[in-house]
Amino acid sequence: MPPLATVVCSARARLFAGLLRLGTQHTGPLQLHTGASCAAKSHYEVLVLGGGSGGVTMAARMKRKVGAENVAVVEPSERHFYQPIWTLVGAGAKQLSSSGRPTASVIPSGVEWIKDRVVQLDPDKNLIHTDSGKQVASRAFEIKGLPEGLRVEKTWKALQDFREGNAIFTFPNTPVKCAGAPQKIMYLTGKRSKANIIFNTSLGAIFGVKKYADALQEIIRERDLTVNYRRNLVEVRADRQEAVFENLDKPGETQVFPYEMLHVTPPMSSPDVLKTSPVVDAAGWVDVDKETLQHKKYPNVFGIGDCTNLPTSKTAAAAAAQSGILDRTISLIMKSQTPVKKYDGYTSCPLVTGYNRVILAEFDYRAQPLETFPFDQSKERLTMYLMKADLMPLLYWNFMLRGYWGGPAFLRKLFHLGMS
- Please report the sign of the dihedral spanned by the C-alpha atoms of residue 86, residue 91, residue 93, residue 97: positive
**167 alpha-carbon distance from chain centroid:** 26
**156 alpha-carbon distance from chain centroid:** 22
CA distance 158 to 54: 32
Q: Please tell me what DSSP assigns to residue 394.
A: H
Q: Which residues contact 101 (CB under 8 A, 6 or more apart)?
A: 79, 80, 397
Annotated active-site residue in 9, 38, 178, 307: 178
Q: Which one, of 148, 143, 139, lies nearest residue 172 by Cα? A: 143
**In one letter, which amino acid is 335?**
K
38 flagged as catalytic: no
- Report whether 236 contacts 243 (CB < 8 A): yes
Torsion of CA 305, 331, 20, 121, to 10 degrees: 10
Q: Which residues contact 37 (CB under 8 A, 6 or more apart)?
A: 132, 133
9 flagged as catalytic: no
Strand spans (E) along 125-230? 127-130, 165-171, 195-201, 226-228
CA distance 304 to 317: 12
Number of neighbouring beta carbons within 10 Å of residue 317: 25
- Report whether 53 contacts 10 (CB < 8 A): yes
CA distance 46 to 66: 8
Annotated active-site residue in 9, 38, 307, 349: 349
Interaxial angle between packed helices 53-66 and 316-334, expressed in degrees from 0 to 180 and rounded to the nearest 10 = 30
Q: Which residues are catalytic?
A: 178, 349
